[in-house]
Structure 1
Amino acid sequence: MTAAANGPEISWFSALCDDDYEFLGVPDPALRSSWEHCRNIVLTAEKGGFDNILLPSGYQLGIDTQMFAAAIAALTHRIRLLMAIRVGETWPPQLARQIATLDQILGGRLTVNIISSDMPGETIASGPRYARTVEVMKILKTLLNGEPLDVAGEHYNLKLPPPNVKTVSGKCPPLYFGGLSPDARDAAAQAADVYLMWPDTMDKVKEVVADMTARAASYGRTLRFGYRVHVIVRETESQARDAATHLLSKLDAATGDAIRAKSLDSLSVGVLRQAELRDAASAKDSDGYVEDNLWTGIGRARSGCGAALVGDPDQIAAKLQAYQAAGMEAFILSGYPHAREADLFSRHVLPKLQHGPLVI
């Protein structure tokens, strides 16, 4: 595996799961997930020069990811799609066929974000659920690499020829995967290609990279690393901080609590770590900064990725370069509202960075 010759992969985020606001916690009908709104985010990101864009997936909120990906594929020309797949809701052989077909539509521009989900309405313990996820990733790699499948696992017992439809490369697209629990880390070490992290302090980022590198090595594998974080960039740091304050200016604590509680992963290890970051920031900085330019206030109104890089263009570029030095080779960025912030980042920060699609 080789890294992109011209720097890390810089990706944006399309808010398919009703996660777009002018003011956090205040729904805006114009920013609700719809074909038109999410299409415009993707096309803005492509025009701005981003390498990839995450298409998230949620059972309860927003629009369907795979249907959206198929539709937007024909409207894009250069940007990759990072399509999120909730594996608990799929049948792996059918998923392999869908992935191969979509990759053909895209001309080989598909990447896949694996989510270790339950089937809607069921709850499976962490260990078995992640074991099932590993089986799914291995099945996808076998079939999409053009190999016959013969698996007798805990969750799948299948003997199949590879699908007739192939990806453009003839190989499985890169599988991106995240999770902080021991079970999630072990699943990534066994079968993922890119391990994704949510925002954290620099020392913790380095600690996770070291741990995951060792875990993957124990399986005779190597991992690449990605970092998912929000971003607020303005011409000056003062303006960026004002924009962060504006974003939370209409949020009350009860609304924020309700938003976080309704998430399906509200009690996961990763989400709890984001809460710890907010607590640590509150103890040291009244504005919610846990370290230079890393603001935790955004997590008051969302589950999951709960911090933002806030600063001027040079500060944001330097922060990303520091993460790169710590091992990050892919960044998935977002901001509220997503189309406007994609445009701001593409004009103010992207020209300062060497970047390109992650090659695996």
Structure 2
Amino acid sequence: MTDTRPPCEISWFSALCDDDYEFLGVPDAKLRSSWEHCRDIVVQAETGGFDNVLLPSGYALGIDTTAFAAAIATATSQINLLMAVRIGETWPPQLARQIATIDRMSAQGTGRGRLKVNIISSDMPGETMASAPRYARTVEAMQILKTLLNGEALDHDGEFWKLKLAPPSIGTVSGKAPLLYFGGLSEDAREAAARGCDVFLMWPDKKENVAAIIADMKDRAAKHGRALRFGYRAHVIVRETEAEARIAADRLLSKLDAAEGAAIRAKSLDSTSTGVAAQAALRENAADDGYAEPNLWTGVGRARSGCGAAIVGDPDQVLAKLNAYRDMGIEAFILSGYPHAAEADLFARHVLPRIEHAPL
């Protein structure tokens, strides 16, 4: 039967923030964040045929994302690069120049810029800003970035930046701003997304909650005369049979110390956010085996803040789950699994050839 759905973007994840394990909560020197290890994950994803790869960012963990993105742009030729940037640590005009430069570096041999940007509404390291002004600053940053990366002169009189600049001398290969991906569930975050981003990202949740978030965000964006696209960030464990996938999930947690898992969650920069609270609620309300609904397993969240659930099953079940999300309006998936390179290979062999996909 022919799939009549439009293609979706399938992305993988490179563990720049020291988030790679064979057994969750048990550090492994071979899987620590490093240029070599994270490069190998990206190369595996490109070889497997993924459309895009998220390069996460955290000032307290792992290696620097912008430097890594510049280097990996010259070590790959096809896969898109979704570079996470922390707005609290940046000056938008300088960030725009970095984005344009890396986009041009990524076009080697193809003439096609491959950089996209994941906006993180972060604090300045060592400081804490209240939610409302922090997200207001993020909206300003997105507006500045889009103006400059669209090759336009900037005359910005905002609360956080007052800038009057000529059009930049360097732009992206396309001459347009790359897609801005952004996520968050608080009231302030939702309004910021509605006003400024292109792709709204969600963490795993029950289907009815995903549908409600999509409906809410469509309404919010429409009030600003905009339309959003939607993405879904989840872990995945796929094996030839459902029983094998469930065994793999159980093995992943088999050496986890509960206190160590709590410590890992607590040290995350987003450990008190609305989104993280929603992931905790999803886990706490799941069945005794950790499944919140068929094939959605919350065990990952026992040793990870942020995205805390995995799609678990055989290839047919994982494909059906993804297609159900597509039917709800999801156009982009950012997937990951442990260890990341090995699980990327499994997904690329078992599921990716069966789904129509392409970069957004």
TM-score by length of structure 1 reads 0.97
Match of 1:272 in 2: 277
Separation (CA, whole Å) in 1 of partners of 2:258 and 2:96:
43
Match of 1:30 in 2: 30
Question: What CA deviation, in whole Å up to 9, does each residue of 1:326-358 have, x standing for no partner?
Answer: 110000000000000000000000011010001
Where does residue 103 of structure 1 map in the other structure?
103
Please say if 1:148 is aligned against 2:150.
no
Percent identity reads 73
Paired residues, number: 352
Gaps of 5+ in 1: none
1:163 Cα deviation from its structure 2 partner: 1.2
Specify the alignment match of 1:333 in structure 2.
335
Task: Give the Cα separation in 1 of the matches to 2:228 and 2:196.
Answer: 9
Post-superposition offset of 1:162: 1.9
Equivalent residues in 2 for 1:61-140, closer than 5 Å: 61-107=61-107, 108-140=113-145
SS of the aligned residue for 1:74 comes to: helix
> What secondary structure is seen at the aligned counterpart in 1 of 2:231?
strand
Superposed CA deviations along residues 45-77 of structure 1, whole A, max 9, x for unmatched, are 000000000000001000000000000100111
1:111-260 equivalences in 2 (<5 Å): 111-260=116-265
Q: CA deviation at 1:221?
A: 0.2
Q: Which residue does the alignment assign to 1:306?
A: 308
1:146-173 Cα distance to aligned partner (Å, 9 max, x none): 1110011010000001210110110000
Q: Give the Cα–Cα distance (whole angstroms) in 2 for the partners of residues 6 and 14 of structure 1.
A: 26
Q: CA deviation at 1:210?
A: 0.2
* Alpha-carbon shift at residue 6 of structure 1 (Å): 5.2
SS where residue 285 of structure 2 aligns? helix
Distance in 2 of aligned mates of 1:294 and 1:352: 20
Aligned to 2:43: 43
Aligned residue type for 1:65 = T
CA distance in 2, matches of 1:262, 1:162: 41
Distance 1:137 1:243 in 2: 40
- SS in structure 1 opposite 2:119? strand
TM-score of the aligned structures, taking structure 2 as reference length: 0.97
Q: Distance in 2 between matches of 1:180 and 1:189?
A: 12
Cα-to-partner distance string for 1:228-247 (whole Å, 9 max, x where unaligned): 00000000000000000000
Distance 1:230 1:339 in 2: 13
Partner of 1:57 in structure 2?
57
Rounded Cα–Cα distance in structure 1 between residues aligned with 2:157 and 2:70: 32
Q: Deviations over 1:260-282 (max 9, x none)?
A: 0001110100000000001110x
State the secondary structure of the residue aligned to 2:346: helix
Letter in 1 for 2:274: V
CA–CA distance in structure 1, aligned partners of residues 72 and 172 of structure 2: 18
| Secondary structure, counterpart of 1:329 in structure 2 | strand
Amino acid at match of 2:250: T
Distance in 2 (alpha carbons) for counterparts of 1:252 and 1:74? 40
CA distance in 2, matches of 1:152, 1:69: 31
Which secondary structure does the structure 1 equivalent of 2:75 belong to?
Answer: coil
CA contact (8 A) 1:6 1:356 kept: no
> Segments of 4+ in structure 1 off by > 2 A?
none
Counterpart contact for 1:237–1:310, Cα < 8 Å: yes
* Unpaired stretches in structure 2, ≥5 consecutive residues: 108-112
* C-alpha contact (below 8 Å) 2:285/2:292 kept by paired residues: yes
- Say whether the 8 Å CA contact 2:152–2:168 is kept in structure 1: no
Q: Which residue number corresponds to residue 16 of structure 2?
A: 16
Q: SS where residue 10 of structure 1 aligns?
A: strand
Shift in Å, 1:106: 1.0
CA RMSD of aligned residues (A): 1.0
